[in-house]
Amino acid sequence: MTQNHANKKSDIRLGTRGSQLALWQSNWVKCELEKLGVIVELITIKTEGDIQTGSLAQIGGQGLFTKRLQVALLNEEIDLAVHSLKDLPTEDHPQLTIAAVPPRETVADALVSNRFTSLQDLPPQAVIGTGSVRRAAQLLHLRPDLEIRDIRGNVDTRLKKLDAGEFDAIILASAGLLRLGFEKRISYKFPPNELVPAVGQGALGLETRRTDEETISRIASLNDPVSFHRAMAERAMLRTLYAGCLSPVGALTHVQNDLLQLKGAVLSHDGEHKIECEETSDLEQSNSLGQRVAEKLIEAGAAKYLQDRD
């Protein structure tokens, strides 16, 4: 709490994970709300993903970093949860809602290396660290000679593992690196058409109880309609595919002249096969757009690459 608010009851109890990136994101939301005169109390909550140490594939992906925050919302321990939207399960809880998506940061993935400056610069059999099956499949599609190894931990932990020589390079979201001031660590920023981003990458999801009209009203001005509808289209596509964060699925959205374009990509886990489909709609038809792209992907044969669903 700020000094001026120290003796006042908070208007919003904001739940957050305790990682460096989660705290940055939640403090940004807190500061934006305080500019509007809203008193915000940060409440740090440890999620399952913060406790478990295995790979995402071993411990399960959906909701690892978000479920405990959602439980706190449902139990009215907090009024607002700030999520990295790509971590939030695509099946919405019936009692909760994503009330706002602030302006989105870049969706691009970044290659971070102390020796190499691009994907093409990596030598044969270079060891690449990523905890994402989406990134792994696309990297193998582009460079089947690479050796992909799992990496876990927050941004700082992963950078330390790279610096210790465990990997030739690691892949991280550019958004997280930029938010934490690590932009100089980016060796190469993948064009999103080259490495199709994760659903919701670079976006924050501000989640509340559906019935909490007061909190919904207080955070409404933080919502960016373009970022919101882009994210909703991507999430609708993933939901229609019955896929989660352990599936090799990517999504890329653009808005031009109030038209929303969505490209979906599904790959085999070994990266050998890649299916892409693209559709366009009015901005506010984001959910139906996501559904259409998913249906086209399934028609094109994507289902066989989504059999290991979480």
Active-site annotation, residues = 87
> How many Cβ atoms are within 10 Å of 282's Cβ, its own excluded?
12
297 has which bridge partners? none
Judge contact between 207 and 80, C-beta under 8 A.
yes
d(C-alpha 201, C-alpha 147), whole Å = 24
Judge contact between 206 and 79, C-beta under 8 A.
no
Beta strands 204-209 and 96-100, pairing class: antiparallel
